[in-house]
Amino acid sequence: MKSGKWIGVLALAALCVSGTAASAQGKGETVKIQDYPGIGNMLFRVALSKGYCEAHGIKCQLQMIPSGPLGAQALLAKSIDVGFFPPEVQINASLKGAALKIISAGATLNVYQIVIRNDLEAPNSAKGYPAFMADLKGKKIGVPARGSGGELQFGLLAEGAGLKAEDFTFVAVGSPDTSYGALTSRQIDASMTFEPSGSMCDVLKTCKTIFRALEAKEPAVIVRTNGASSNMVVRQEAIDNAPHVQDALIAAAKDAEAFIQDPKNFDEALKIAQSYFKFNMPKGDEVMEAALRSAIPAYKAGVSRSALQQIADNMLATKQIEAKFETGKLLYGNAP
């Protein structure tokens, strides 16, 4: 009797495990996912190129959209199924009534950098933060889009340096390739941007990188945002209608993370990155390689809940939102 009872229990457990695996498997659905120019959405570039999406029963398609706010607009308009953008953008959309949920991270470390023109007078640039902020006061600062995470975080840096956002003029310059053109043509003085902007400056010596948030030791409120910088976001109705698709996306992202975090796969990961985007400039391949090496530690699927809350708290501190925002409601229940 006891033996038969345990056999029944084990059979039931096996059935439950099997059912869970089946529910997490796609049924051939096509999923359109936001990508960016440059090194872009590497987790899903890898997931698509290595067959991880197909292995989990979904067909992934990548669509280039150069900024977070534009990605959110496309997601809400249903022209894509998964946005890839910072929590600041999602929080602002949520406060306006958008029902959006994070299913996984995509770039966990704070991606933002500040690059400046070579000819800009910046006597404090070598002193680090907050000293260099005084050099930028009154200057034209490029951001990916108005209201983007880049602009909001620059405002936070200004606040920590005893300045305010109104001390600067913000100009929407798009993704790194277009922001680089705006910088080198002197349309802007500096840019709050992301890779490969810093690598362009470092390799080509045509501009200077003076701040990388992922390496920064201060301000603490920026450092504590590492862990939830840019996330994969879907509409709530997608979760309601097809939770198995979201679980398949998470599984594919985890597979891609395991691949890209293995050092022996770097050369293949670089080829994958180059297959989606090429820099048509001198030393373009060197720029791509430097940018990917810099960004790889960020390519993970797990979302830091404390970092996510810190980002919302920063928005409150800089008066971007009017009341404390609890970020737990931004997460899909199965998000890693």
CATH number of the structural domain spanning residue 239? 3.40.190.10
Answer whether residue 3 is part of any domain. no
Same domain, 217 and 273: no
Answer whether residue 56 is part of any domain. yes
Same domain, 106 and 231: yes
Residue ending a domain, among 204, 223, 242, is 223
Tokens, residue 172: 């929407």
Same domain, 90 and 234: yes
- Per-residue confidence at 296, pLDDT binned at 50, 70, 90? very high
Same domain, 241 and 104: yes
Same domain, 304 and 238: yes
Domain membership of residue 257 as a residue range:
26-110+227-330
Give the whole-number percent of the chain exceeding pLDDT 90.
Answer: 76
Residue ending a domain, among 197, 223, 249, is 223
Evaluate if residue 8 carries a pLDDT over 50.
no
- Per-residue confidence at 281, pLDDT binned at 50, 70, 90? confident
Same domain, 106 and 117: no
Q: Structurally, how many domains does the chain consist of?
A: 2
Answer whether residue 1 is part of any domain. no
Least confident of 26-30, 42-46, 156-160: 156-160
Which is more confidently placed, 194 or 244?
244
> What is the pLDDT, as a whole number, of residue 192?
96
Answer whether residue 15 is part of any domain. no
Rounded Cα distance between 221 and 185, Å, is 33
> What is the pLDDT, as a whole number, of residue 318?
79
Find the mean pLDDT for residues 283-299. 93
Find the mean pLDDT for residues 221-229. 93
Beta bridge partners of 113: 193, 212
Answer whether residue 293 is part of any domain. yes
> What is the pLDDT, as a whole number, of residue 282?
86
Least confident of 20-34, 66-80, 277-291: 20-34
Helix runs in the chain, H state only: 2-23, 42-49, 52-55, 68-76, 87-95, 133-136, 149-160, 176-184, 197-204, 220-223, 236-241, 243-260, 266-276, 284-295, 305-317
Evaluate if residue 265 carries a pLDDT over 50.
yes
Report the first-to-last Cα separation within the chain, whole angstroms.
41
Answer whether residue 13 is part of any domain. no
The answer to whether 68 touches 193, Cβ cutoff 8 Å, is: no
> What is the pLDDT, as a whole number, of residue 4?
46
Residue ending a domain, among 164, 194, 223, is 223
Q: Which of 228, 236, 229, 230 is nearest to 78 (CA)?
A: 236
The whole-model pTM stands at 0.83
Answer whether residue 269 is part of any domain. yes
Same domain, 35 and 86: yes
Answer whether residue 88 is part of any domain. yes
What is the DSSP code (8-state) at residue 109?
S
Evaluate if residue 3 carries a pLDDT over 70.
no
Same domain, 251 and 193: no
Same domain, 96 and 131: no
> What is the pLDDT, as a whole number, of residue 1?
41
Evaluate if residue 176 carries a pLDDT over 90.
no
Same domain, 128 and 158: yes
Find the mean pLDDT for residues 15-25. 47
Least confident of 4-18, 117-131, 206-220: 4-18
The answer to whether 229 touches 110, Cβ cutoff 8 Å, is: yes
Same domain, 117 and 106: no
- Per-residue confidence at 177, pLDDT binned at 50, 70, 90? confident
Per residue in 81-123, pLDDT tens? 999 999 999 999 999 999 999 999 999 999 899 999 999 999 9
Same domain, 219 and 252: no
